[in-house]
Structure 1
Amino acid sequence: MAPIVRLNLKWIGFILGVLIFINISLLFTTWFSQLYSAELYQSNQFLFLLLQQTDLSLENVLAAWYSSMLLLSVSLVSILCFFSHRPASALWLKNKSGFGWLFFSLSFGALSFSELGSLHETIGDIVLFSSSGGKYGWYVFYFLIGCIGLFMLLFTWIHLRQSTSGLFFATLSVLFFISVPVQEVFEFEFWKAGERPVSYLLLEEGSELFGSLSMLVATMIYFIQSAEKQPQTLPASRVEVRLSVNTGRVFTYIGLVLLAMGFLMLSFSFTTRSHSLSDDQSGIAKNWFPSVVAFVSFVYGAYQVSRKKNTVLYGLMSFLCLFLSVYYGSNWYVFPFLHSGSIKSLLLLSIIGGISVYLSYVFYRNQTNSLQRIPILFFLFSLLISLLTWQTYAAEFGFLSFSSLLVSQLSYNHFTKKSAINTKKLKPKFT
């Protein structure tokens, strides 16, 4: 049984409009923060902290989380493009090049990880590149970036050349990303001179944001156009794409990915120093893992809402997953306010805990198989431990919690459809 993705084109257009607005807003708040944050710190510390969360030049803040999840969105859509790729030609290049979508997915997934973990700031200095000698390690890294950019241009031309708009956005994205290392060279020269022009900062951050958004548009165009090769039963404002993969294999792939992420997270957990949890100058790599799984769970919940399926239930799930994705990705779990015991902090934790208990109760009740109920219990108890342990193991238990939630929801959706199909097959036919 192959999964089918049904999309509302009006919803997609609305979401892209919101993303454009957020990009422009973050550039504006970054500019404002660079110029007036010192004055605001003296007059109103609450607004100062709020403004810091929207400053693209800082780490472990809301703006860094948004930039990372925008890159991750490209990675997720690239996976859908790979599974929707149905080679119709006998040409080897056209048939085999579809696997390039996996390279796209891995590349943007790595960029998303780098954005939260600050690896892009120091990767040129690691042993692999620095062995070239001094600053030349960065040149080796930039050369690899150029090769990847060339591959992306060639790949997008092969797959999107029949779509003028898709090819335009893909080319624009590659040009944005390739320009970033060049901009950093000029910015570094100004930094050595003791200054960092705000215009260069905004140009670099804007290139990254709109480069990600342009590639997201390009991949979405390809995915939507793949629906034209398949029979459609929906109105013109909606499309459905049947993925060329068995649902059982999807579970296997997701399980392997979560397992690999779990091992990677443990390795970063052991190497992350405890005092770096409150450091806003360097990203925290292990925060990426629970943030990503919570974000993917948010996307799943929002997708169910767009299909008008249990709107209230999946709406609450989307809200919870989105908030906690920001909570982990922005390193909010180290804020003393959330664990100060004040009325506001207790109210916030009560709301999060109440929604979690309600969702767990409904999902647990809907599951008929006792084995399928186990991930629901893991989700609830792991999340409560994550919220209560504060800095100690918050990210680790958060990852375990949302991994369990994602597995439970995908399994519930799969077995519900499978049961409905079997019931339909067993239904007697009257002549």
Structure 2
Amino acid sequence: MLALFNLLEENVVASWYSSMLYFLIGIIAFFCYLVDEQKSYSRNEKVLNAFWIFVSIIFFLLSFDEMGSFHEVIGETDFLKSIGNGKDTGWFIFHFVIAAIGISMCLFFSLKFKRYPFPLAMNLLAILLLLSNPLQEEFEMEAWRSSLNQLTWKRPMLFIILEEGSEIFASFFFLYSFTVYLIKKTIISYSGKAMLSIDFTFNKYFFEFLITLLILLGALMLSIFYFPWTFSGRSDVGLPQNWFPSIASIFSGFVCLYFEFSFKKKLGFLCSIYILLALISIGTSVYFGANLYFYRDTFLAQVRFILLGATLVVGLILIIEFKGNDIKKYLSAWLLTFIISIYYPAGFYTTFLAYVAYSFLLIALYLHFQRLLYLRDNYE
């Protein structure tokens, strides 16, 4: 149990938490783009708003890297090394790109947060903390190289606290500043009360876009597995395939929480079924993100049966209670595929089947969301 929360290990609850925190920040950054886009009319404002998408992608990549551990060896890739002649060319290019991204984010936040001094300061400090990580890692490598015995050298506790603390504080600073910005941009006054208002509008091709996105992510998952980086590139400890079912399931959980607070109290849907599905989805994200599906010979093996039982009960309730044949079909596909993933031998295809399962659930939730909107509008 202590190992699962070890900040120095990969494929544990601690690394899952860090990855999902970055993923959440990326989602909030995208919401900031949606809100700014709704209130922008000039071309310059729209161009500036588009940088929010770039920021969101950066945090999604950071989330992916927390499970894949690509940054530890990316400077050794043949592609980066081939650009120059020096042995450190790859790392130089990587650090140059990181610095360029950091500077551009500083400029963007200075423009966007100029009316909010404290969140702006939090953003700038967070960028500095993240940019310090490559320097800290290089300093640690120099300490290792200069040690009397490299085989017995261990990282000093101070190095661990500085590096892990920099990432943790940077994440919370970003989360705080983005959330404050989103709240300030979305608060409206209605009947004397302050409330949040984000207008979710989908064009007629959004369903096709969702299907395409899920297929592309699945294809990316397969390509990373079948065409892995060698040590000219890939980390020996990260398991990038765990990221895909983790984000699909936790995003399903976020959607269910949105349903709970936005629709259930007004329409009285299914008691607390959204909360239960959200908890199961988040638990599934932990199960795959922390690599718990590999624990088949310890007491942790019972976790998958608990997860399976809860999913089976809630899934059957959803299939019975949710209206719409297409919704029922996708929910059935989710439940069946997830059951297969639980019993499948531990390995890559366990995670792939889980990702496919929660892709079906996301599609079902989108169709259900359309129905909720229709019922709400008619209810009003």
Q: Normalised by the shorter chain, which TM-score bucket?
A: 0.7 to 0.9
Q: Provide the residue aligned with 2:337 in structure 1.
A: 382
Question: Which of 219, 235, 242 matches 2:193?
Answer: 235
Question: Which of 143, 165, 183 matches 1:206?
Answer: 165
Partners of 2:259 and 2:324 in 1: CA distance? 22
Q: Does 1:330 align with 2:290?
A: yes
Deviation at 1:137, TM superposition (A): 1.3
Q: Name the SS for the 2:50 alignment partner.
A: helix
Partners of 2:41 and 2:276 in 1: CA distance? 47
What's the TM-score, normalizing by structure 2?
A: 0.87
- In the TM superposition, what whole-angstrom CA distance separates every residue of 1:202-247 from its partner, at most 9, and x where no partner exists? 211111111122111121122111114x5546833x422224x426
Partners of 1:372 and 1:345 in 2: CA distance? 32
Name stretches of at least 5 consecutive residues in structure 1 with no aligned partner.
1-49, 274-279, 426-431
Tell me, yes or no, if the aligned pair for 2:293 and 2:304 is still in contact at 8 Å: no
Tell me, yes or no, if the aligned pair for 2:242 and 2:289 is still in contact at 8 Å: yes
Q: Provide the residue aligned with 2:226 in structure 1.
A: 270
Write out aligned runs for 1:248-263 (5 A). Answer: 248=204, 250-263=206-219
Q: Provide the residue aligned with 1:162 in structure 2.
A: 115
Deviation at 1:130, TM superposition (A): 1.7
Q: Provide the residue aligned with 1:117 in structure 2.
A: 68
Tell me, yes or no, if the aligned pair for 1:116 and 1:288 is still in contact at 8 Å: yes
Q: Provide the residue aligned with 1:18 in structure 2.
A: none
- In the TM superposition, what whole-angstrom CA distance separates every residue of 1:239-285 from its partner, at most 9, and x where no partner exists? 22224x42645544433321211110111232469xxxxxx961111
Q: Provide the residue aligned with 1:75 in structure 2.
A: 26
Tell me, yes or no, if the aligned pair for 2:16 and 2:289 is still in contact at 8 Å: yes
Deviation at 1:315, TM superposition (A): 2.2
Tell me, yes or no, if the aligned pair for 2:263 and 2:372 is still in contact at 8 Å: no
Partners of 2:134 and 2:192 in 1: CA distance? 45
| More off after superposition, 95-104 vs 360-369 | 360-369
Q: Does 1:370 align with 2:328?
A: no
Q: Provide the residue aligned with 2:130 in structure 1.
A: 177
Which amino acid counterpart does residue 294 of structure 2 have in structure 1? Answer: V
Deviation at 1:354, TM superposition (A): 2.3
Q: Does 1:321 align with 2:276?
A: no
Write out aligned runs for 1:348-367 (5 A). Answer: 348-367=303-322
Tell me, yes or no, if the aligned pair for 2:318 and 2:331 is still in contact at 8 Å: yes
Q: Name the SS for the 1:242 alignment partner.
A: coil
Q: Name the SS for the 2:193 alignment partner.
A: coil
Deviation at 1:289, TM superposition (A): 0.4
Deviation at 1:372, TM superposition (A): 2.1
> Structure 1 residues 101 and 55, CA, compared in 2 at 3 Å: closer, same or farther?
same
CA RMSD of aligned residues (A): 2.5
Tell me, yes or no, if the aligned pair for 1:113 and 1:285 is still in contact at 8 Å: yes
Deviation at 1:420, TM superposition (A): 4.4
Name stretches of at least 5 consecutive residues in structure 2 with no aligned partner.
230-234, 265-269
Tell me, yes or no, if the aligned pair for 1:67 and 1:115 is still in contact at 8 Å: yes
Deviation at 1:328, TM superposition (A): 0.9
Deviation at 1:94, TM superposition (A): 2.6
Deviation at 1:68, TM superposition (A): 0.7
Deviation at 1:312, TM superposition (A): 2.7
Tell me, yes or no, if the aligned pair for 1:232 and 1:240 is still in contact at 8 Å: no
Tell me, yes or no, if the aligned pair for 1:232 and 1:239 is still in contact at 8 Å: no
Which amino acid counterpart does residue 323 of structure 1 have in structure 2? Answer: G
Question: Which of 103, 115, 119 matches 1:150?
Answer: 103
Tell me, yes or no, if the aligned pair for 1:54 and 1:61 is still in contact at 8 Å: yes
Tell me, yes or no, if the aligned pair for 1:58 and 1:281 is still in contact at 8 Å: no
Q: Name the SS for the 2:72 alignment partner.
A: helix
Q: Does 1:128 align with 2:79?
A: yes
Q: Provide the residue aligned with 2:50 in structure 1.
A: 99
Tell me, yes or no, if the aligned pair for 2:99 and 2:131 is still in contact at 8 Å: yes
Which amino acid counterpart does residue 330 of structure 1 have in structure 2? Answer: A
Deviation at 1:95, TM superposition (A): 2.8
> How many residues are paired up?
361
Q: Does 1:289 align with 2:247?
A: no
Partners of 2:278 and 2:89 in 1: CA distance? 46
- In the TM superposition, what whole-angstrom CA distance separates every residue of 1:100-140 from its partner, at most 9, and x where no partner exists? 01101111101111110010111111123222331231111
Tell me, yes or no, if the aligned pair for 1:226 and 1:241 is still in contact at 8 Å: no
Which amino acid counterpart does residue 197 of structure 2 have in structure 1? Answer: E
